[in-house]
Structure 1
């Protein structure tokens, strides 16, 4: 791997790749990727489309493991970040940033995706929300952490197709990418402590922020098809548990999916640096194609 590509992988890994927390009986999987809302508050208003992405891995004695957040965009489809449901990031992170970077460790190493059975839980409270099983995972075919960001698009997005149509209201896509200065609300179920300790939030967390010029996310190698969000007070923002979580904009009073939580800069703890989000409107063609075909090529 070239020096530039190695740096791209390391930068992308830094904030998104802190290990998630488990509510099961085993230690958390160091292969989990997510970028928690530190400094946020319990979500207000109607958020039926909010999704907690969890999995069971019985062969590894891991159950009800919160790995990421997401958003319901169609009645049978949740979108999230690609590293939440691939092995690519776990392998790269293990090479670039060994053990001490992980929030929790698993002596047997990262749990491969093939051993995970994913579930989504919808609504504000992940202990009582509507639940659906993930039957098909489709990752944006352009996704590759090490392909040479920012010169090439990272395309950090994945689709989770569900085993049934859920009753919850969906979150429509924004009509365009948000511009610098645009007000956004960030959502997620991750940790709420700046030291990335404790347990993930049971109730959906929310943080108000704004879009920054792309230069402010240079450390995170922001590519085309992405935007940069501020970390209010220099301390608040996403961290472990929130990769894939939605950034929501209001267009004519209607909540819409502006972005999908991806990453921050190299070595950043929760809320220490601005965060890169994948532009939701830029993924429209991918999302709709999967919705029409069920992921069949």
Structure 2
């Protein structure tokens, strides 16, 4: 939260997530991938031309189109608003979570965590009643698995055909410069890392954008699909942020202002390490 909130200005709801709540990392990764997908939408994927890619049970273009819904609808509207209302009630009445309505609200929050984002999320059920799964989208866990599988195959082919920039089955324009319709937090950093300002010998290509996207997608896939990931090793009831002063709900935390300096320092270290090899 302290690092990413100033970069992305997440809506209310994100601010009250307990740092141990696995959704905090989930939402950040979803948002980073959103930025990457802004460039991926200008890549000409042709999965239908390949037997292996077309056999996978999803569609890359559908995912690119629907990806923001996992954050904007599932998290911000269906989970975040619900959590914010719960915390506001608890702030006004510190035993509200012990009431019948409070228990129902808490139960819904826990089940929405499992239904929407973290399929391996386990918790002690507070009430016998189990809410129905109202997720209107394909499960996120299945979509990250699809993306990891498909993009891994594409990246393997990119590496195999990099010399001479040969054709890559599944992508029509891998060697062209990547294009973001509007600069965003991630694209600006990629421009620096890949030398986008250079007119020649630039690494700012669709091929490398796909590689970076695969890296972040793989982290998210591991985070939500691996039962041993840190998303599942914390206390399931550590849902909202707690004040150190009174033990009640907290609605924010100090944020950082040195993101650009940290990035610049990391780039300098990477350049220095490369020069020493």
Length-normalised TM-score, structure 1: 0.24
Between the two structures, name the one with larger relative contact order (CA 8 Å, sep ≥ 6).
Answer: 2
**Greater fraction strand:** 1
Length-normalised TM-score, structure 2: 0.26
Q: Which has the larger radius of gyration?
A: 2
